[in-house]
Structure 1
Amino acid sequence: MDYFPLFCQMKGRRVLVVGGGEVAERKLRLLLQAGAQIQLVGRELAPEVADWVNAGRLTWQAKEFDERQLADCWLAIAATDDQLLNERILAACNARQIWCNAVDDPDNASAILPAIIDRSPLLVAVSSAGQAPVLARLLREQLEANLPQKLGDLARLAGRLRSRVKLRFATLKARRRFWERFMVHPPLLAAFEQGGDVEAIADALLVEDDSPAMAGSVTLVGAGPGDPGLLTLKALQVIQSAEAVVYDKLVSDEVMNLVRRDADRHFVGKQRGFHSLPQEEINALLIRLARQGLRVVRLKGGDPFIFGRGGEEVEALQQAGIPVSVVPGVTAAIGCAAATRLPLTHRGVAQSVRFITATHKPGDPEPDWSHFRPGPETLVFYMGLSLRERISRLLLAQGFAPELPVALISCGTTPQQQVRHTTLAQLPRVGDDLPSPTLVIVGESSGLPMVD
């Protein structure tokens, strides 16, 4: 985060703007809308700026910048194309602990003025930290087109109801749930658009019995192999409405950054070589959280039902009488293969694909390796990095060719993604430098020329 986003109350507060041309005009308009007390310094004025001066909306001095003009200022804006002057203004502001914005000159600024979507009292600000202002403007235009004009009216109604909501609902959790229903209530939104009686609908919603909504539930959500762009829309909606999130080591930081900030987070490990909570304790945690009336998300790397023990958790929750649902995710084999342009099936090369877990629960029978036969099939071993020697030895014993291509994909779909290509015979000697999680993909398709 290059800049900390902050909305400031500028009403009646003094702002110095240096420069009165067209560049300054854009900033002055926003400051006037915010009710700032503006002192303008500059030799020339753009026509509209001159109109504001004549109307008494701001004070103008046809002078050069002087550090004494910063007295009692909360903010200074350098709206000039003179870099040396901008540097002087920034230095003077820094000495006085005053925020300084330099238009189109981020190197000489301590504050950035973002692109704004105004649905007052709702404001949306977009910033590129001064690096790509056109990109920020284009994004603002897209948001502007998709945000209804009536959002400000909805926010003002919510403001009028706040004291009543506090009286109606004793706990923060109950109030939050009311507001979440309020903001998406179809009859209320329709009344805003069509000119209906929004006050009456809000009153009815406020006294509505919300006890069914207060029941806890658990949703198992597939977080995919790491890239947050591979989350489904439904997965994103669910994790952003969760009140508690139970997650494991395979869920990337980028995905966790999408979880609402006020949600309780419970880390349970679940990666080979790391301390993790036993599955029975995870089941008990999910049940306990749901019985507290929380909307719980069990966030799992990949897909919950592909080596994610999701079936065990669903079974435990159903036996406890907890409502449970599942949102599928992109499993690691599919996501990582696509990210490296490795086709798991390919005409004339691989007619089928098999997903295999390289680990198993203590006490469970060993996988029956006699089922693996050479042929037009791709084998994908999950969590196979530490078992490369075993995979190589047992497949060779089943008659697989020593020169059969093998690909190892570490941290697939993420910026840390690494790929190693080798053969089945050489597999034990490749990959010591790779971090987990790593897939081991065995088959002719892993050596196709479309792969880097």
Structure 2
Amino acid sequence: MRAQDWICQMRVFPASMPLEGRTVIVTGHGPMAEAKARLFVTSPARLKWFTGHGADPVPADIAQYATVMDREPIRSDLHGAMLLFIAGGEPEAIAELAATARELGVLVNIVDSPAASDFQTPAIVDRDGIVISIASGGAAPVLSVDIRAAIETLIPARIGVLADLARELRGTVKSVIKRFDDRRAFWEMALRGKARDLALSGDRAGARREMMRALNGSAEPATGIVHLVGAGPGDPDLLTLKAARLLREADVIVHDRLVSAGVLDLARRDAIRIDVGKTKGHHPVPQQSIEETLIEHAAKGLRVVRLKGGDPFIFGRGGEELEAVRAAGIEVQVTPGITAAMACAASAGIPLTHRDHAQSVTFASGVVKQDGPDADYRALAASNSTAVFYMGVGAAPGIQSKMLAHGRAPQTPIALIENGSSDGERRFTGTLGDLAGLVVREAISGPTIIIIGETAAFSARLPQRQEQFA
């Protein structure tokens, strides 16, 4: 292949067309027509849908926005329209309607016929004031949809709020700040600083006030923030969209040992990464030092992400860190994660509650604070409940004896999921009377969730993860 064959060519131009005060027409019925009409239901355009005779009723969520007519359009219906989507019909009728529309200056899209259309419909990411289009010129719409799905995970849901505020204040900013370079510096600060954080958290009024303070020269100096973020059980695909965004934006990431490399790979390359991981009996970074690290970096005006395996508030000491950071006068926000119990149970096909077997579920730690209170084993041993133990491998003999002593039957099903949701996941099933022996025989040593109760038997019905046998 010649070198010039690799040169990229822009085959389509994704122009942005204002919709305020414009008319969009859809003709035809069925799924294709409905999909085109649905594109415009939240837009400011006037939507007219000519469904033809004898069509099924229009979905209610579209009918409340559109003018729906159960007939074919005539020439006068097309006057003043900007776009026409033709979804189905006889070839002769389609050609005649398209020709009439073009005579009147209307752009025509004939669904599923890119070569016969004046434009193609891109895959769209709609964030109100921000609209992103992905176009393949009609050649590969499936690829466009897949790319849209990937972009959806990167763009915050409320990013359009920032665009709306910028549009609202644009004239004021231009009248106050005369030089172009100064205006650009203002917008960089306004759209990337505290106003942005407020807007993305849902506080539109607060974001506007912060922008106005910045415009008046009275904005507060940049302040840092600490985000306590749940990294989930290890599989990057189980990370929440918000957690992934915060990772991309973080200046400093303080992470645990159980946070997987795949999750950390989502962070900025230039972010400072601080490993404060602990193992059983080995705490190289004491909890107080972790809290001091969070406060120190946030005090410099940096965005700090405290990345914790699972969920910060389930056996993650997130509550202690929250209190410490708040006491230092630094803003702290919490982003939940999928906790290990839920991820492991899902991977093993174990319902933690079940109408026939378990009317409650209790999460407990196999390791308790020295000289602190133990878990309530009377409640954990209830016959119609599921008990889930974190950090229970080393404590397995004690868990077994206490559960039996409080009335749980020796034949009660158990399931142990080691390294849950990762490629190295292993599952073991048995009975409560053999819990300690099972741990020894199978040499279980990695992070493990122990599930005790009738629902644990469901795990025996599901094959092991296929990755182990690839």
TM-score (norm 1): 0.58
For 1:257, the equivalent position in structure 2 comes to 265
For 1:443, the equivalent position in structure 2 comes to 453
For 1:186, the equivalent position in structure 2 comes to 163
- Which residue identity lines up with residue 204 of structure 1 in the other structure? R
The within-5 A match list for 1:274-313 is 274-313=282-321
- Alpha-carbon deviation of 1:228? 1.0
Matched, 1:27 2:6: yes
In 1, Cα distance between equivalents of 2:180 and 2:394:
61
In 2, Cα distance between equivalents of 1:215 and 1:266:
21
In 1, Cα distance between equivalents of 2:266 and 2:150:
21
In 2, Cα distance between equivalents of 1:358 and 1:334:
17
Q: 2:182 aligns with which of 197, 203, 220?
A: 203
Other structure's SS at 1:265 match: strand
Structure 1 segments unaligned to the other structure (5+ residues): 1-16, 19-23, 31-135, 148-181
Change (3 A) 1:144 1:247: closer
> What are the superposed Cα offsets for residues 77-105 of structure 1, whole Å, 9 maximum, x if unpaired?
xxxxxxxxxxxxxxxxxxxxxxxxxxxxx
- Which residue identity lines up with residue 186 of structure 1 in the other structure? A
- Alpha-carbon deviation of 1:396? 1.1
Change (3 A) 1:262 1:451: same
> What are the superposed Cα offsets for residues 21-49 of structure 1, whole Å, 9 maximum, x if unpaired?
xxx8743666xxxxxxxxxxxxxxxxxxx
The within-5 A match list for 1:34-113 is none
Tell whether the 8 Å contact from 2:228 to 2:333 is kept in structure 1 after alignment.
yes
Tell whether the 8 Å contact from 1:373 to 1:398 is kept in structure 2 after alignment.
yes
Other structure's SS at 1:385 match: coil
- Alpha-carbon deviation of 1:388? 1.0
Q: Report how many residues are paired.
A: 297
In 2, Cα distance between equivalents of 1:384 and 1:281:
26
In 2, Cα distance between equivalents of 1:393 and 1:188:
62
User: Hey, which bits of structure 1, 4+ residues long, moved more than 4 A?
Assistant: 136-142, 144-147, 182-185, 187-191, 196-202, 207-211
Tell whether the 8 Å contact from 1:374 to 1:400 is kept in structure 2 after alignment.
yes
In 1, Cα distance between equivalents of 2:145 and 2:378:
60
- Which residue identity lines up with residue 412 of structure 2 in the other structure? L
For 2:429, the equivalent position in structure 1 comes to 421
- Which residue identity lines up with residue 388 of structure 1 in the other structure? A
Change (3 A) 1:434 1:29: same
- Alpha-carbon deviation of 1:201? 6.8
TM-score (norm 2): 0.56
Tell whether the 8 Å contact from 1:411 to 1:435 is kept in structure 2 after alignment.
no
Other structure's SS at 2:321 match: helix
Tell whether the 8 Å contact from 2:232 to 2:340 is kept in structure 1 after alignment.
yes
In 2, Cα distance between equivalents of 1:419 and 1:145:
33
In 2, Cα distance between equivalents of 1:144 and 1:349:
42
- Alpha-carbon deviation of 1:318? 1.1
Matched, 1:333 2:341: yes
- Alpha-carbon deviation of 1:354? 0.2
For 1:359, the equivalent position in structure 2 comes to 367
Other structure's SS at 1:425 match: helix
In 1, Cα distance between equivalents of 2:355 and 2:462:
16
Change (3 A) 1:144 1:366: closer
The within-5 A match list for 1:360-375 is 360-375=368-383
Change (3 A) 1:146 1:354: closer
Q: 1:385 aligns with which of 390, 393, 416?
A: 393
Change (3 A) 1:141 1:442: closer
